[in-house]
Amino acid sequence: MNRLPDAIAAAAHAARPVGVFDSGLGGLTVLQALRARLPQEDFIYFADTAHLPYGDKPEHAIRARSLAIAENLVARGAKAIVIACNTATAAAAESLRDAIKVPVIALEPAVKPAVALSRRGIIAVMATTRTLHSQRFERLVHAYAGDARILAQPCPALAEAIEQEGAEGDTVQALLDRYVHPLALAEVDVVVLGCTHYPWVMQAIRARLPEGVVIVDTGEAVARQVEKRLLQESHLGGGGHFQLATSGDPEAVGQTIRRLCGLMPPVAHWEI
């Protein structure tokens, strides 16, 4: 039997991009980890800046928005979807897995590894209000906290301030003073960054904590999981390219990307 057509079809499928989305540009930290681990893959990154922030929206609205974006990415050829947003993961991950036929890899606050790393058993999770109030987060704490004390630190307006001002902005610094100081007083020994925007200010967070506190980011763990799923599906392959798109103003998004990471790539506008 001639297997050539099947092999050609498999290669074509493997060459399709991985779709990545976030409410804004925090998920670029996840995209960086993905491209570092999977340099041969193609990626489409969609920033839903016209609907930013997700953190204070009702769960049903986040779920509907996430589904619309995921379906659009699949229609554009995505062979897998990465939810590069903790808030969208909490609200919509299960719904997306039920609704679309490609693998869905989602973020979640790294409670399990934080517990393993903690010596003192006092762990802080910095995240949006929506993430910390979600059933998904409650399940993580119930499943993995054990005897550890988990301090949930909501950080309203921090993600938006990072996008608007960059990591060094005055508002960003004031918010970090407000949110990190109580964690230092509580003598935490592990801090989980439960929002993809927060790695942009990791050094500023570290500077406000006692020496030796471990900061956990989930970007590398997500990249490992994406690699695992693509290997399982025999879908590794591509040309190492990436495309950026937004529901908002492409020029403003491009300026924000330049402010955050020094790049000025082309950004497309998509109506979703």
List active site positions.
85, 195
Cis peptide before 266 (omega within 30 of 0): no
Residues sharing a CB contact under 8 Å with residue 30, sequence separation 6 or more, in sequence order: 20, 22, 82, 84, 107, 196, 218, 219, 222, 223
Q: Quick check: 66 and 92 in contact, CB under 8 A?
A: yes
CA dist 145 and 168 (Å) reads: 33
Residues sharing a CB contact under 8 Å with residue 245, sequence separation 6 or more, in sequence order: 44, 45, 46, 47, 267, 268, 269, 270
Cα–Cα nearest to 132, from 141, 123, 121: 141
Q: Give start and end residues of each alpha helix (H) in the chain.
A: 4-14, 28-37, 59-75, 86-99, 111-117, 129-132, 135-144, 158-165, 170-185, 202-207, 219-232, 250-261
Q: Quick check: 60 and 49 in contact, CB under 8 A?
A: no
